[in-house]
Amino acid sequence: MALTAQCYETLNFGGRHTIGQKSDGSLWGWGYGIAGQVLTLNEAEPNPIALGSQTDWKSVALGVFNTFVIKQDGTLWGCGSNQHGSLGVNTTTLFNPTFQQITTASNWVKVAPSKYFTLALKADGTIWAWGQNDYYQCGNSPATAQELVPLQVGTATDWVEIAAGTSRTAFAIKADGTIWGWGKNPSSIIIYGSSTQNVAFPTQVGTDNDWVTMSVGGQHILAQKTDGTLWSWGSGPSMGVGGTPAVTNTPQQISTDTWKTFSAGGSTSVGIKTNGTLWAWGDNSNGQLGDGTSITHFLPTQIGTDTDWNTVHGKYSPTTMATKTDGSVWYWGTNYYGEFGDGTSYNLNYYTTPVQTVGICVTTGCAVPSGLTATSITTTSASLGWTSTAVLWDVEWNTAGFSPTGTPTQTTSDNPYLLTNLTANTSYEYYVRAKCGVDSSAWVGPFSFTTNTIAPCPTPTLLTATNITTTSASLEWTSTAVLWDIERGISGFTPTGTPTQTTSDNPYTLNSLTSNTDYAYYVRANCSVNTSAWTGPFNFTTATVGIGEITNTLGVNIYPNPATDMVMLDYNLTIPNATLAIYDLTGRSISKNRLTSEKGVLQLNTSTYQPGMYIIVVKEAGVILYQQKLIIKH
């Protein structure tokens, strides 16, 4: 690499032109410029030229014939071709050699231009589109020849990644990791079946929920999962799966390797594996894959043997650009319009292997992370991820809308990084920067996400108290939960909201009670992360043990006591044919019943009894086995 080379912090490639940003924030461009995409109307610009004097640019994205930039203040600007309204500036002026502001919005975070239509993502998670819409690629109906201003795509607010294909197709990824497509449906890339030529609105492809980024070509798509593996679907050798299946909208894995970066061209694909090797596959009729041959490859084919490749960009054009970790910049394909930036143009040669442009370099000290995501979101945590070649990162996060301080809240070597101790149903934002020894990259963000809402904890219903004895009662309720809080006390007590018991038992046996005492209890469901409302009180009275009564050693239980219209006798005796009799206080027999079995339940109708005290006696062959007072209330 020449010592006099012009170095840039970032390089963006559109297929026919390149835009670089220097450390002072200034933009420089070279290559095809006839539409104003490098702020001139010259057909060829073989040397880097300054794109004005402004330095407050934050990010750059290139279409085939235009250039888009987002400023530090979040506003969006564009220059170059406006064919079919692809600049989104509400005019039909075809060539624009000056930057034009696109709406007055100041929350743009990403742009994905195609040839004649453009997608953009806002910080609020909405997608907007403009330009050619003849196959619904703007995600709006009806289909139109052009849309001059940005239109929102659907109503969803959880989009995190966008990509525009080279053939009127658009794709996007949601915060939950699902992937969606709309627009033209070549090779069943969205919906399987040749009868479906277009898809008007975002439609989910497959059911996987671990997608993080993608690149869309003419008949195929490349998409990467959270584990770093690369997948494709559509049709053609550019899928990289050997030619089978020939056409599919089911994602097919491209080897078991993990990939550092990748890019889809019109009918080609290029990528760099995590080991730094460069690979290409697809149509190679003109040697465009860079392997020195014109053999079409249905599987990834390594380009050379170097292991220090860093980035690669393939677009809808016959030229490809790549960079190495030493900062050197390489091109292959055609250099007709000065695409290589080496001072030459109108070159009729076709370069079938990478050629270094010695006058241009890219700084590699500490690259800015990209592709921010938030996945595996729960009520209290989220997994933050990004694409970066660094091994250490600073993260600053807070609730949505906070003003970043530049002071990290976390420094981590984990990517993805698990953020915990969050609040449910709350919107958050985070920024991230790479750390490279003593150097750090610029911060990138914000990326917004919202924690899940805690599902309501259902309140128990139908409280009861059964199997009441002098010292215990069985409390029961209807509930779908598995854990409950109970608060109990003497009837009429004021509940504090502090449980006296927490139990997984339903029914729950309450012990150590006092006989002939009125009690009340409340219950609520305990769903770990939250609780239901308390329900109650439910009142009950323990059984009475009176003076001179024979202690219950035979398993006799009478309830309720006091009673009104009905009394239940639950007995478990050791002998059959016992007799149960009820007497008033004068000794007059009110009722007599034969207990024909040793064990059972007898129901007594007391609705005709006068209020007062009665004596219940169980005896056998004249011998009293059990005796208890019964109180009747009306």
Sequence-ordered list of residues with C-beta below 8 angstroms from that of 195, at least 6 positions apart, any chain: none
When mean pLDDT is compared across 75-84, 203-212, 509-518, the lowest value belongs to 509-518
pLDDT for position 546: 46
Q: What is the DSSP string of 184-235?
A: E-GGGSSSSSTT--EEEEEEE-SS---EEEEEE-SSEEEEEETTS-EEEEEE
Burial category of 207 from C-beta neighbours within 10 Å (exposed 0-12, middle 13-18, buried 19 and up): exposed
Q: Same topology for domains 370-450 and 557-632, yes or no? A: yes
Closest of 236, 329, 538 to residue 321, by C-alpha: 329
Q: Are strands 382-387 and 230-235 parallel, antiparallel or unpaired?
A: unpaired
Take residue 460 and report the two structure tokens written for it.
């128990």
Tell me the CATH class for 370-450. Answer: mainly beta
pLDDT in tens, 173-189: 999 999 999 999 999 99
Say which residue the tokens 């610009």 belong to: 45
Compare 419 and 316 and report the one with higher pLDDT: 419
For residue 628, pLDDT over 60 is answered with yes
**What's residue 3's pLDDT?**
33
DSSP 342-392: SS--SEEEEEEEEEEEEEEEE--SSPPPEEEEEES--SS-EEEEEE-S-S-
Spatial strand order in the sheet of 484-490: 501-503, 484-490, 518-525, 535-541
| Omega prior to 537 cis, within 30 of 0 | yes
Supply φ then ψ for residue 187, to 5 degrees.
Answer: 55, 35
Q: What single letter denotes the amino acid at residue 453?
A: T
Instruction: In whole angstroms, give the CA distance from residue 455 to residue 87.
Output: 44
pLDDT at 523: 96
157/126 Cα distance (integer angstroms) = 5
Residue with structure tokens 């095809």?
Answer: 32
Give the Cα separation of 94 and 37 in Å (integer).
12
User: How far is CA 191 from each of CA 187, 206, 314, rounded to the nearest angstrom?
Assistant: 9, 10, 25
581's tokens:
């009799």
How far is 341 from 357, CA to CA, in rounded Å? 7
Q: What is the structure's pLDDT at 437?
A: 64
Residue 364 identity: T
Q: How, if at all, do strands 599-605 and 612-620 pair?
A: unpaired
The CATH class, in words, for 557-632 is mainly beta
**Is 549 a residue whose pLDDT tops 70?**
no
- The span from the CA of 409 to the CA of 419, in Å, is 11
- Could you state, in order of their start, the residue ranges of all structural domains in the chain? 6-362, 370-450, 461-541, 557-632
Largest CA distance in the chain: 127
Tokens 């007599």, residue located: 592
pLDDT, one tens digit per residue, over 187-225 is 999 999 878 899 999 999 999 999 999 999 999 999 999
Q: Is 7 exposed, middle or buried (0-12, 13-18, 19+ CB in 10 A)?
A: middle
In order of 50, 211, 261, 431, the CA distances from 371 in angstroms are 28, 11, 11, 12
Q: What average pLDDT does the segment 347-362 reach?
A: 92
In the chain, % of residues over pLDDT 90? 68
Residues 6+ apart with CB under 8 A from 59: 69, 70, 110, 111
Residue 358 has pLDDT above 60, yes or no: yes
- Give the H/E segment covering residue 603: strand 599-605
Q: How confident is the model at residue 485 (pLDDT cuts 50, 70, 90)?
A: very high
pLDDT tens-digit map of 418-435: 999 999 889 999 999 988
More confident position, 140 or 626? 140
pLDDT top residue among 364 and 157: 157
* Cα–Cα distance, 411 to 390 (Å, whole number): 13
Q: Please, which residues have CB within 8 angstroms of residue 590's CB and are 6 or more apart in sequence? A: 582, 583, 584, 609, 614
Q: What is the pLDDT of residue 5?
A: 55
Q: How far is CA 182 from the centre of its chain?
A: 20
Please, are residues 333 and 312 in contact by the beta-carbon 8 Å criterion? Answer: no
Of the pLDDT bands very low, low, confident and very high (cuts 50, 70, 90), residue 304 is very high
The predicted-structure confidence for 449-469, as pLDDT tens digits, reads as follows: 999 988 888 999 999 998 888
What is the CATH number assigned to the segment(s) 6-362? 2.130.10.30
> Is residue 545 predicted with pLDDT exceeding 70?
no
The stretch 380-395 carries a mean pLDDT of 89
Domain 461-541, second-level architecture: Sandwich (2.60)
pLDDT, greater one: 366 or 618: 618
Model confidence over 586-602: pLDDT tens digits? 778 889 998 888 888 88
* pLDDT, tens digit (0-9, with 9 covering 90-100), for 503-513: 999 999 999 88
pLDDT > 70 fraction of the chain, expressed in percent and rounded: 97
Output the CA torsion sign for 50, 51, 52, 58: negative
Task: Work out the mean pLDDT of the chain and round it to a whole number.
Answer: 91
d(CA 88, CA 103): 8
Q: What is the model's pLDDT at position 359?
A: 86
Q: Which of 185, 300, 193, 194 is nearest to 239 (CA)?
A: 300
In the structure, how many helices (H) and strands (E) does the chain have?
0, 51
